[in-house]
């Protein structure tokens, strides 16, 4: 089940909200939490019931390990239990996400012919595994406490952040569910939540899914010209922006409807003046987790410039591999790391470059690297890069195919060119100029204008759900 689907919007969401707040009339808040756990497990199992047992087993094992770490904290056993927990989680994600990747590379390097397993990737496994792994480390450090199993289950499964983040901390979430004042329906929070959810739904269903058509068609072509190459890359750059921004808005909005404040995971990343800043604005909680559990344990920036640069590269290597089991993802991560290293070496000398040039250069780097992220292989990425560098080929006939109107609706080629260039220019203006969702939520009041805007966004998005598709980050 995805947020941008009729079954979620018209059935699951209203039923769960109604059930949750009806249970607030009971004296004990435990029933509300148990209800949310059951609803969240149903939400997860609806996608593929076979993997419901997997997430339950993962929760059970990690809870037992965390309990043992807490009980034995202060002696050597706690480290052994932590090591066992790390091995379990790495093995779990390694099998389901990287098994075929390892087999392919073994076959390639050693000339073998081992059969691929073709394992269906469990929804959100990278997120709930990383979240639980971070919890084990936090318990080991004494930063978190293991409480009741039901609270731990809710921490892992709360459906607004279960399958694509944000990667939250136990201490960020569970105290809110225990806060007596948050148990009851709050009209202001509900209105703010619906407002943000509607904006996110519009970003996904209307904008991102339209751009997905352009990007998919462009990446599926060969011999791209200059204009088609740039349209293809920019289409995906904008698609993933509005797709992930839309998901983040919907997750935060859903949480707010339940009076729960989920951290924003997205803060106008394309306005960044450097790659390092980009990663402080894009997938914020993943960056926090990688910094806390990978970069800092490696030594961070405490052991000299050379070691700092190596630590940055290793952290971005993990980031690339976390995103996907393919060498294109690994190279994507490593190149981000390489630019971060250059920035670290250059230091404050980069401040001499005008701000607008720094923003433009960062955006162009990010746009170019998204090609690797989206491509199904290096050959497909090279096709797009060739098009982006084909200065002598300004052919616009390929835009008919990219726009996807061939066969049932045809416009003059120049009209397609104006349409797609105009659309992407308008969207770029929104990306760089319009206030982001965090600011919009802070400034939100339940005025007639805002409620009408939310209704318009919601209605238009609902009409576009006939082309329902999963969020890009659901695949990770």
User: Residue 411 and residue 420: Cα distance in Å, rounded?
Assistant: 12
Among 118, 283, 323, 336, the one annotated catalytic: 323
The string of DSSP codes covering 232-244 is HHHHHHHHHHHHH
- If phi over 0 gives left and psi between -120 and 50 gives alpha, with beta otherwise, what is residue 259? left
Residue 323 annotated in active site? yes
CA-to-CA separations, 351 to 268, 338, 356, in angstroms, rounded: 20, 19, 11
Burial of 449 (0-12, 13-18, 19+ CB in 10 A): exposed
Where does residue 430 fall: left (phi above 0), alpha (psi -120 to 50 degrees), or beta otherwise?
Answer: alpha
For 373, the token pair is: 């992220």
Contact 193, 448 (CB under 8 A): no
Q: How far apart are CA 318 and CA 316, in angstroms?
A: 5
Task: Give dist(CA 374, CA 332) in Å, integer.
Answer: 10
Contact 450, 192 (CB under 8 A): no
Question: What single DSSP character describes residue 279?
Answer: H
Is-contact 387 232, C-beta < 8 A?
yes
Helix, strand, or coil (residue 266): strand
Cα 365 to the center of its chain, rounded Å: 20
| Cα dihedral: 442, 446, 450, 455 (round 10) | 120
* Residues known to be catalytic: 323
């Amino acid at each position: 089940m995805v947020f941008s689907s009729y079954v979620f919007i018209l059935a699951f969401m209203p039923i769960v909200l109604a059930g949750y707040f009806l249970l607030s009339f009971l004296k004990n808040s435990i029933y509300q939490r148990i209800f949310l756990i059951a609803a969240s497990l149903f939400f997860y199992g609806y996608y593929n019931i076979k993997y419901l047992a997997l997430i339950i087993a993962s929760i059970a094992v990690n809870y037992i390990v965390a309990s043992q770490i807490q009980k034995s904290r202060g002696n050597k056993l706690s480290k052994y239990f932590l090591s066992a927990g790390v091995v379990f989680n790495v093995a779990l994600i390694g099998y389901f996400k990287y098994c075929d990747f390892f087999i392919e590379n073994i076959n390639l390097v050693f000339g073998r012919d081992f059969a691929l397993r073709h394992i269906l990737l469990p929804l959100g496994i990278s997120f709930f595994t990383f979240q639980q792994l971070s919890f084990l480390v936090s318990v080991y450090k004494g930063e978190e406490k293991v409480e009741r199993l039901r609270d731990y289950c809710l921490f892992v499964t709360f459906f607004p952040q279960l399958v694509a983040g944000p990667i939250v901390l136990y201490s960020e979430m569970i105290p809110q569910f225990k806060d007596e004042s948050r148990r009851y329906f709050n009209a202001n929070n509900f209105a703010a939540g619906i407002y943000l959810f509607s904006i996110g739904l519009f970003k996904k269903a209307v904008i991102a899914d339209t751009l997905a058509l352009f990007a998919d068609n462009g990446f599926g072509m060969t011999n791209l010209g200059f204009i088609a190459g740039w349209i293809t890359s920019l289409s995906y750059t904008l698609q993933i922006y509005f797709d992930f921004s839309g998901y983040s808005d919907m997750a935060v909005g859903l949480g707010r409807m339940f009076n729960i404040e989920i951290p924003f995971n997205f803060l106008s990343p394309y306005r960044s003046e450097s790659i390092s800043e980009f990663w402080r604005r894009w997938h914020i909680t993943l960056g926090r987790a990688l910094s806390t559990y990978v970069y800092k344990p490696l030594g961070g920036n405490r052991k000299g410039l050379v070691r700092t640069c190596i630590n940055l590269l290793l952290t971005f290597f993990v980031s690339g591999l976390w995103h996907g089991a393919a060498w294109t993802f690994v190279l994507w991560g490593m190149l981000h790391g390489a630019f971060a290293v250059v920035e670290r070496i250059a230091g404050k000398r980069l401040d001499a470059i005008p701000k607008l040039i720094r923003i433009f250069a960062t955006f162009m780097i990010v746009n170019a690297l998204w090609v690797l992220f989206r491509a199904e292989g290096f050959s497909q990425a090279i096709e797009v890069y060739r098009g982006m560098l084909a200065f002598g080929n300004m052919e616009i006939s390929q835009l008919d195919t990219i726009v996807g109107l061939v066969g049932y609706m045809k416009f003059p080629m120049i009209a397609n060119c104006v349409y797609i260039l105009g659309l992407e220019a308008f969207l770029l203006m929104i990306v760089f100029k319009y206030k982001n969702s965090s600011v919009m939520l802070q400034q939100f009041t339940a005025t007639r204008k805002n409620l009408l805007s939310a209704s318009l966004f919601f209605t238009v998005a609902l009409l576009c759900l006939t082309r329902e598709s999963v969020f890009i980050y659901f695949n990770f």
